[in-house]
Each structure stands twice: as structure tokens, then as C-alpha cells.
Chain A
Amino acid sequence: MLKNVLPARYCHSLDFLNLDKLYEIRLRVNSPTTINYGGRFFLGENGLAETEQEAIISNERELNDIVFKACECSVYAHNEELKQGFITLNNGARIGICGEIVSDNNVVKTIKNFTSLNIRIPHIVKNCSLNALPFLHNENGVFNILIISPPASGKTTFLRDFASQISDKFIARNVLVVDERNEITACNGAKPTLYVGKFTDIFSGCTKQFGITNGIRTMSPEVVLLDEIAEKCDIEALLNVVGAGVKFVASTHSKDLEDLKNKPLFKEFLKLKVIERFVVLSNRKGAGTLEYIFAQDFTCLYCGG
């Protein structure tokens, strides 16, 4: 799927790489292409490049073509995603987009003249949440959980695997995934490309608020999973989940628990003592390294060492 959208010279270069190790490709107009390949590298004409000078330099037309192909040659059909600065491919890869914003009365209409693209490739790491699982539920079901990690450290992969574990092992009877950016499930039509469990309902491509309000009302889930809590409205959405007596599993960008505590967005929320478990992931031994699990009162339940 990735090769369907990339220009030929990039596809040729990727042929020299093991795609299982590839996490990210960053393209900027008139700048060397960089990749996250278990570390930061340049992408040259024949795979990895040693120096900046050997790296592929992207041009404006290439970036435009990538976005056009990622939109299945139909920008109008993906404009809602584009307005939010990303396009999700059918395999769950997400293309983050920077460019010139076209707005009318402060309402974003679209993005044009793309300047940078960040292509993030999803990975399925089966059982990656298994070590954490015993700490994250009791006989009454799943706790309210917040997964914390720096960007590209396996939050979504963990979330996806956790959804399949609690669903398939009947830890929660009905699981609802609110997949705002279609990254967790990578739904292609009605079929999720990435497995999230046999008894999991999916709302994709909608806002967290919409997915939660309608999902709770119509699907009666026991647990709601959602990715990337980053705004005040996301916190409000989590409070709606709690208010409805439903458990949540959410993720957010933060270096560690201390970093999270210092974030203005979370200061008031943490005081409510709603979150029962904090799972901290890192990149220390590769993406998704389980570092710590903290309880509601911040006592450490698990330390990865």
C-alpha cells in the first residue's frame, strides 16, 4: 500500500530495507528525506544513506503526488481528514501533512502547497500488551487506563493489542474503539485491516466526542478505547465516558508520568482521580518498551528496569 503512493525512486530505495523495522518516513520540500529505522537515518537512492548529501531530496511535485495518490486521486473525498492535517491509508499508515492552509472566516477549508509529509507506518506486535495485562484489570473488569509515551513509542500498537486481548479473553464483554484517525483499526470499507478483537465495535473517522456519545448510546460498551488525548475537548469526552459508567483506555504524548503531571491540560483532570492505571512506554529497547505501571495514587506497580 505504501508503495502505491510513493514515487518510483522511493519505492526502489525501500526495496533495500526491511519494512518491519521502518516506522516513519519524513519528506520535506527541497530537503533530504529522513526515516525512523530503529533510529534516525537518511534515505538514499539505494536504501540507507550515510550522509545528508547522499539522501533523496524531495520536490514539491512529489509531495503533491503522494497526497493525491493517498487520497485515491480524490482529494474532495478525503478533505475532512486533510483539513485536520493527515490522510490515513488503507493499511493504517498515517500521512501527516504540513502546507498552506486555505481558510474562510477562520474556518479551514483545505490544505494546499504541501511542504512536509510525515508517513508513519503501523506495526502489529502481537501480545505486546500481555506483560501489562494482569495489572490493568481485576475481577470487575478493566480499569480506567492512560497510556503514556513519547511520540512513535508504540502507544497505538499497545492500544490495538490491548483491545484484542480484553475482547478475545472476555475481560470486557463489549469493547468500543473510537478511531478518530483510522490509525488503530485501519478500516478499509467495513473491514478493519488491523485486528482489534472479535467482540470489538469500531467507530472510525469521527471525532472522539461523536464516537463516545453515539457509541455509548447505541453499542453499550464496557470499555471505550481511544488514541491521542491532546485537547480539552478530549478530556471532556473522557469525562463523558466516566459519567456513563463505562471504562476508558486512552493514550497521550508525554515523556513520563512527571511530564504528564506538569501538563496544564492534565493538571485538573488528574485531581479528579479518574485514571486508575498509568502505563508508561518508551523507546529504550525498541518501540513499545514497557517501563512502568502506576496505580491511581502514583505508586509503582511494575518497573521494567
Chain B
Amino acid sequence: MNILLGALFLLGGIMIGSLIAKKYKAKYEFLSSFYAFLEYLETNFNFLQDSIKVVLDNKKQSFCNDFNDFLNDLSQNLDNQQDFLTKWSTQQKFLNQNEVLVFTKFFEQLGRLDCQTQIESIKQTKQALSEFVQLAKDAHTKKGKLSTQLGLMCGLTLFIIVL
């Protein structure tokens, strides 16, 4: 019985650690996907100038699921971009206030500017975003790993205590 309880604690510890690590990973992947999307947009604006609907419908599939979901929802709410973004920013879970600000500001302007200004907006967003991506990457590699290890350690400790 004690062994079973200990094993449960161990498993619980590992799971909590992994969950916290996953949050860091999701944030990093989301921001990286946003950065990749900006590069994709920049190329399109420079050469093809497809409409936003076409861009969103033909987007690369290499974006993470969360970002893909966001783009799909955006594509369906292009007429009410502002309302959609306000709702999205209150519901999203992993971005901090500054990141949300950069993110929503960019998407609020998307499609409403002339080409030159739109490309300039992409450049500025990329500049601001590169710092966030770097921080998210560090957090993912350091804190993510740490969370998994701490979870494992806690689980192990409880396992030993119970035994």
C-alpha cells in the first residue's frame, strides 16, 4: 500500500513539473511561430501582396497548434478584428502584458495600412518580438528543465518519506 502511495506521489510530482515546463514551451513555440509568421508576411507583402484572407488560408503548417488556432479564428473574425483581439487577449493564458500589447497592436493594424507602412510595422514588431522570443527560449530551456527536475525531486522525496 505504501509503495503504491509513494509511486502516486512520484508520478504526481513528475506530472506537475512537466505541466509547468509545458507552459514555458508553449509560450516559446507561440512567440517563435509569431516571429515566423511575420517573416512569411514580410515576404508576401514584398512580392505577392495577397489579401489577408488568402495569406491566412495559405499559411505555413509549421506553426504551433496554438498559433494556428489563433490564425484560424482571426481569419473568421476579420470583420470584427478589434473585438476579436480584445476577447482573445483576455482569454489567452501564457503571454504577459507587454507581449500581449505588441501582439494585439500588430494584429489591430494588420490590413489597415498601406504596403510600405505595413512592412515597417512588421519590422518594428519583429524587433520587439525578438527580445521576447529570446527570453521565452531561455525560460523554456532553464526554467522548463528546472520545473521537471523539481517535480521529480519532490515526487521522489515524498516517495521516500512514505516508504
Contact = CB atoms under 8 A, between A and B. Distances in A.
Contact of A73 (B49, B51, B114): B51
Q: Of A75, A76, A77, which is in contact with the most chain B CB atoms at under 10 Å from its CB?
A: A76
Contacts of A69: 79
Contacts of B114: 75-76, 79, 82, 109-110
B115 to A, nearest CB: 4
A68 interface: yes
Contacts of B50: 74, 77
Interface in A64-87: 65, 68-69, 71-77, 79, 82
B115 A73 contact: no
A75 B81 CA distance: 14
B116 interface: yes
The range of chain A's interface size is 10 to 19
A76 B46 CA distance: 11
B78 A73 contact: yes
Interface string A92-109: 000000000000000001
A74 B79 contact: no
A68 B79 CA distance: 9
Interface string A37-71: 00000000000000000000000000001001101
B73 to A, nearest CB: 14
B124 to A, nearest CB: 16
Nearest to A110: B114
Nearest to A69: B79
Given A68-B112, A110-B114, A77 B79 contact: no
B116 A74 contact: no
Nearest to B118: A76
B116 A77 contact: no
Contacts of A75: 111-114
A77 B111 CA distance: 8
B113 A76 contact: yes
Nearest to B115: A76
B52 interface: yes
Q: Of A69, A71, A74, A82, which is in contact with the most chain B CB atoms at under 10 Å from its CB?
A: A74
Contact of B111 (A76, A82, A109, A110): A76
Contacts of B111: 68, 71, 73-76
Contacts of A71: 51, 111
A82 B111 CA distance: 13
B67 interface: no
Interface in B37-87: 45, 49-53, 78-79, 81
Nearest to A78: B51
A4 to B, nearest CB: 9
B53 to A, nearest CB: 6
26 contacts: A65-B79, A68-B112, A69-B79, A71-B111, A72-B51, A73-B53, A73-B79, A73-B81, A73-B111, A74-B49, A74-B51, A74-B52, A74-B53, A76-B49, A76-B111, A76-B113, A76-B114, A76-B115, A76-B118, A77-B49, A77-B50, A77-B51, A77-B115, A109-B114, A110-B114, A110-B117
Given A69-B79, A72-B51, A77-B50, 17 more contacts: A65-B79, A68-B111, A71-B111, A72-B52, A73-B53, A73-B111, A74-B50, A74-B53, A75-B114, A76-B111, A76-B114, A76-B115, A76-B118, A77-B51, A77-B115, A79-B115, A82-B114
Ordered nearest first, which 7 A-B pairs have the shortest CB separation? Answer: A76-B115, A74-B51, A72-B51, A110-B114, A73-B78, A79-B114, A73-B111
